Structures are given as C-alpha cells and as structure tokens.
C-alpha cells in the first residue's frame, strides 16, 4: 500500500474518505461535498456522530465517485498522536470493507496531525505473510484479501506532511520486520536464518557482529550454548549497533528462541505448540527497533543483542539437573529445560553489560505464562531496578499504544533460587509467582548501578481482531516503545 500527500485535487474520482468533528460538525472538505445536505442527513439517520474512530461507509454521492467513507475526528482538543493513529487504523478497516483500490483522504488537519493519522493507517494496513498460501476461497469472507493499493492524503502543506511521515514510515518498517519474523514458521527461521535477516540491516548503516557456536563457547556464554545444544541448528549471538551519536549506548536485549519444544521437559499438554515459533518475538522487537532508528537516521547510539537458539529434545540436549557455568562466572542448576528463555537472557545481559558498557539496558522476552495469566495479555509485565527508567518506559508505552504494567522486583525470590550444588537455580515453581522469580534471576546477571528493565511480553506477540493498530497477526510489540526510548521520530 502506497501513501502519498498532495494538495486538494481539482477533481474527485474513485473512493474518498472525509473527516467530521464530534456532533457531525462539518470540516471544510465535508461541506464542499455536501452541497444539498443529503450526506449530513444520511449520517444523522445512521446514528453517526463523529466520535473519534467512528466510521461509516456510504454510497458515493455522484459519479465518478465510487464510495465515500465518513470518519470521526472527535473533539479537536483531544487529537493526540495516539488518538490520530487510532483514527487512521479505524479508517483503514472501513476502507478494506469498501473494497476500494485507491482512496483520497480529506481530514483538514495541520501537517503534523496528518502525518500521525497516516502512520496509524500504515500500521493497521500491514498485510500478514502470504507467500506460503497457494489457494484462496473467493466465497469465504475471511479469506478475501484486501485490495487497497494507494492512499492519497490531501492537505494544505503536503511537503511538510511527507517529511514528518517519513520518520514514522521508518518505524513502521521496523514494526513490519518484527511482525514478519514473528510469523515465520520454525522450519524457515532458525538461528542462522535470523542472522541472515539481521545482516540486511547493514544497508542502512547498522554494524552487525555474529558469534557462532565456537565463539559463544570461547566467550564463556555457557547458558546460551546449553540451551542450543539439543538442536542441529546451533545457537548464535548477534550484536547490532547503530551509532548515530557518541556516548554510552542504549542496549536492547532480545530472547530469540526460534522454536521452543520445551527441550527434555517437553510441552506434552500444550495445545498451542505451533505458536512456539513466536518464542523469538523479543529478538524480533529488538531487530525491528534497530531497523527503525537506522531507517530514520536517529541521533542516538543504540545496540541490540539477539540471543538466538532452538530449544529441542535430543540425545545432546541439556537435562534437568545439569549445572552450567554462565558468562558472569555464576553456576546455574537447570531445573526445567522449558524455562530456557531466562538462561539465554542471563548470558546475553551479562555479556552486553561487560562488552558494551551501556548507559541503560532493557531486555524483552516472551518469558512466562504466569505474566500472560496475571495481566490477561492486555499488558506486558515491566520489572525495573531504576524508577526513572521505569517511569520513562511507562510513559512511552502509553503514548505508543504498547501497554506495560509494572511489577515488583523482590529479593524474596532469592529463597526460591537457592541451589544445593550451584550458585543459583534458574526456576523453582514455588510459592512465589514464576514471573517474579524469572525477573529476579535475571537481575543477578546485571551489574549493580546499571539502570535495567525487563519486559515480559508473553501474550502480546499476537493481536486479536480488536487491536487498533494491527490486523489479526503478529504485533511487532516493542518496536515503537524502543524507538521512543531511543529518542522518538521527532528527535
């Protein structure tokens, strides 16, 4: 789908979309269309009031127009960037319903607001992976592909709107990369396949460094090596660096389990095993964020660390009860091989802290089912050792429509993590919720004094049909949040 910005065209044809304020207060564009008042009357009869995100598909008033979509702008003083994006997402849904191939959008808004509306339209207009499909049922309403190809947004200053939109387009492309990767089947995306996707970012100026299985063991990343040793596709550690500024970097660390069977502790009763292809959604968020900041040439120093492995059962897989030495030097007793995410993150966090000397560090992972159950997949869980960092993340999460809920880091979990034969156990299944134990376990691998946050995004990797900015597919959760943390599209 192509989005462009132009001055108001002299003639109108095809489909058009036009905004109204709450109470059906007409914008200049709507007034120009509704010469005899028939459109306003039709909207009144249909109960359309112009509330934000409200849409109505009407028959075209006269040829050569083919369809008209009215969309609500709500109250002017409440037109925040978040609200404008949601309006754009709602408009995209209605345009798909209209089956229009091209549309001209009239919103009568200043360039910055037009850019935000178009950004929301772009995010909701993502098309899920389709290259594996060879057949479609034309009689099945849910199987009919959208046909919208071109959107022209009419505004008074199209050059400025285009300039502002391009930074948001770069972020959208990062989101789309994360969505694509999350939705890839496990047989098409192993650790090395992920590496090849990462290498493509060099064309944007991102430095890409890859540690193979030999380098991983030489570096002492024993936990990452142990998780990946059961698969014939060996683990990888990837460092992505965008150096758009000097100084210590923001470091983002992503769990990249390209498929999670549970290992020896296999997921026997899991009806959703197929969804375990998405256990790398944290790493997808990190690579998407690097794609975003590089695409918009952000004035920021950002590093991404991807801990990539496939967790498989085999004769070479790690066992419950194994003791493994981590990069930090701590030994870890493995209790359950299906709690592998915290193992690869622990090594990646300690390695990143030592090698990259970050200003602050954030990790993200589809880590625990308990977080998904606790927050009902409405929020990702946030743990942080620094209140200022937590406050920043919560603020950006609200603004970017990627909700977080802060949960407590507590030393009470240390009793669960005591081992009789090693420095730590990595899980316990005790009285303390596992998500709390997991976060506290990770904290042991973060140097004291380094601001750090852990985001458990379990349940947020896929969208339902009500998501305002994503179709029913992988979400790319975390990309917009991390881009904002790195300075945002207006930095």
Closest CA to 376 of 464, 440, 269: 464
Catalytic residue from among 267, 325, 330, 406: 267
Sequence-distant (6+) residues with CB within 8 A of 391 are none
Residue with tokens 């790398």: 280
- pLDDT at position 203, please? 98
Closest CA to 308 of 363, 235, 413: 235
* Cα–Cα dist 365/447, whole Å: 20
Closest CA to 258 of 197, 312, 191: 191
- pLDDT at position 432, please? 75
C-alpha 403, offset from chain centre: 11
Classify strands 65-72 and 14-21 as parallel, antiparallel or unpaired: parallel
Strand arrangement, sheet containing 424-425: 323-325, 331-333, 424-425
Secondary structure of residue 217 in the 3-state scheme: helix
Domain regions of the chain by residue span: 2-130+146-154, 170-485
Alpha helices in 332-489 (DSSP H): 341-356, 369-375, 387-399, 434-443, 479-485
As given in the structure block, the two tokens for residue 239 are: 């460092």
Secondary structure of residue 223 in the 3-state scheme: helix
- pLDDT at position 64, please? 77
Secondary structure of residue 114 in the 3-state scheme: helix
267 is catalytic: yes
Residue with tokens 């990797």: 461
Check: CB of residue 147 under 8 Å from CB of residue 100: yes
- Taking phi over 0 as left and psi of -120 to 50 as alpha, with beta for the rest, 348 belongs to alpha
As given in the structure block, the two tokens for residue 236 are: 């990888």
Classify strands 25-26 and 14-21 as parallel, antiparallel or unpaired: antiparallel
398 is catalytic: no
- pLDDT at position 271, please? 64
Write phi, then psi, for 10 (nearest 5 degrees).
-70, -35
SS3 helix, strand, coil % of the chain, rounded to 5?
40, 20, 40
- pLDDT at position 433, please? 85
β-bridge partners, 58: 68
CATH of 170-485, one of 3.40.50.720, 3.40.47.10, 3.40.1710.10, 3.40.630.10: 3.40.630.10
Closest CA to 58 of 86, 24, 90, 17: 17
Classify strands 236-243 and 301-311 as parallel, antiparallel or unpaired: antiparallel
- pLDDT at position 402, please? 97
Give the chain's largest Cα–Cα span. Answer: 84
As given in the structure block, the two tokens for residue 218 are: 């030489």
- pLDDT at position 378, please? 93
Catalytic residue from among 86, 124, 342, 440: 342
* Residue range 2-130+146-154, CATH number: 3.40.220.10
| Residue 269: CB atoms within 10 Å | 6
Helices 111-124 & 158-183 angle (0-180, nearest 10): 20
Per-residue pLDDT of the chain (491 residues; tens, 9 = 90+): 999 999 987 677 779 999 999 999 999 999 998 888 999 999 999 999 999 999 999 877 677 778 899 999 999 888 999 999 999 999 999 999 888 999 999 999 999 999 999 999 999 999 988 788 778 777 776 667 788 999 999 999 999 999 999 999 999 999 999 999 999 999 999 999 999 999 999 999 999 999 999 999 999 999 999 999 999 999 999 999 999 999 999 999 999 999 999 999 998 766 689 999 999 999 999 999 999 999 999 999 999 999 999 999 999 999 999 999 999 999 999 999 999 999 999 999 999 999 999 999 999 999 999 999 999 999 999 999 999 999 999 999 999 999 999 999 988 899 999 999 999 999 987 777 899 999 999 999 999 999 999 999 999 999 987 799 999 999 999 999 999 999 976 65
Residue with tokens 């995209």: 92
Instruction: Compute the Cα dihedral for 471, 477, 481, 486 and give only its sign.
Output: negative
Helix (H) or strand (E) run with residue 192 in it: helix 191-199
Write phi, then psi, for 364 (nearest 5 degrees).
-140, 140
Residue with tokens 């968020």: 285
């Amino acid at each position: 789908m192509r989005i462009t910005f132009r001055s108001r065209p002299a003639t109108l044809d095809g489909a058009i979309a036009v905004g109204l304020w709450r109470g059906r207060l007409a914008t200049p564009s709507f007034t120009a269309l509704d010469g005899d008042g028939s459109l306003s009357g039709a909207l009144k009869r249909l109960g359309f009031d112009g509330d934000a995100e409200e849409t109505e598909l009407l028959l075209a008033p006269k040829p050569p127009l083919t369809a008209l979509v009215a969309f609500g702008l709500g109250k002017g003083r409440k037109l925040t960037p978040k609200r404008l994006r949601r309006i754009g997402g709602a408009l995209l849904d209605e345009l798909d319903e209209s089956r229009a191939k091209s549309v001209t959008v009239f919103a009568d808004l200043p360039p910055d607001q037009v850019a935000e509306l178009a950004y929301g339209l772009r995010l909701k207009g993502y098309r899920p992976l389709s290259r594996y499909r060879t057949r479609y049922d034309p009689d099945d309403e849910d199987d009919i592909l959208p046909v919208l190809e071109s959107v022209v947004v009419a505004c008074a200053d199209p050059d400025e709107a285009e300039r502002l939109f391009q930074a948001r387009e770069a972020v959208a492309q990062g989101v789309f990369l994360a969505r694509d990767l999350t939705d890839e089947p496990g047989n098409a995306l192993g650790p090395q396949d992920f590496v090849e996707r990462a290498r493509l970012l060099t064309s944007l100026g991102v430095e890409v460094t890859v540690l193979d299985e030999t380098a991983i063991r030489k570096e002492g990343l024993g936990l990452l090596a142990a998780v990946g040793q059961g698969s014939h596709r060996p683990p990888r550690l990837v460092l992505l660096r965008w150096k758009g500024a000097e100084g210590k970097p923001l470091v983002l660390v992503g769990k990249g389990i390209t498929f999670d069977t549970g290992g020896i502790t296999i997921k026997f009763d899991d009806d959703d095993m197929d969804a375990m292809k998405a256990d790398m959604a944290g790493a997808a968020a990190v690579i998407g964020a690097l794609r975003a900041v590089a695409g918009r040439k952000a004035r920021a120093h950002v590093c991404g660390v991807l801990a990539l492995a496939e967790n498989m059962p085999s004769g070479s897989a790690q066992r419950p009860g194994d003791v493994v030495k981590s990069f930090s030097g701590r030994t870890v007793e493995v209790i359950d091989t299906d709690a592998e995410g915290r193992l690869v993150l622990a090594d990646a966090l300690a390695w990143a802290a030592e090698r990259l000397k970050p200003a602050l560090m954030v990790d993200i992972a589809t880590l625990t089912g308990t977080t998904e159950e606790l927050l009902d997949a409405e929020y990702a869980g946030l743990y942080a050792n620094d209140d200022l960092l937590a406050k920043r993340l919560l603020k950006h999460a609200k603004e970017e429509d990627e909700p977080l809920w802060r949960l407590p880091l507590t030393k009470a979990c240390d009793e669960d993590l005591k081992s009789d034969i090693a420095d730590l156990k990595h899980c316990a299944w005790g009285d303390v919720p596992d998500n709390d134990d997991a976060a506290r376990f990770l904290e042991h691998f973060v140097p004291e004094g380094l601001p750090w946050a852990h985001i458990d995004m379990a349940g947020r990797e896929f969208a339902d049909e009500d998501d305002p900015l994503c179709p029913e597919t992988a979400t790319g959760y975390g990309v917009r949040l991390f881009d904002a943390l790195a300075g945002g599209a207006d930095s």
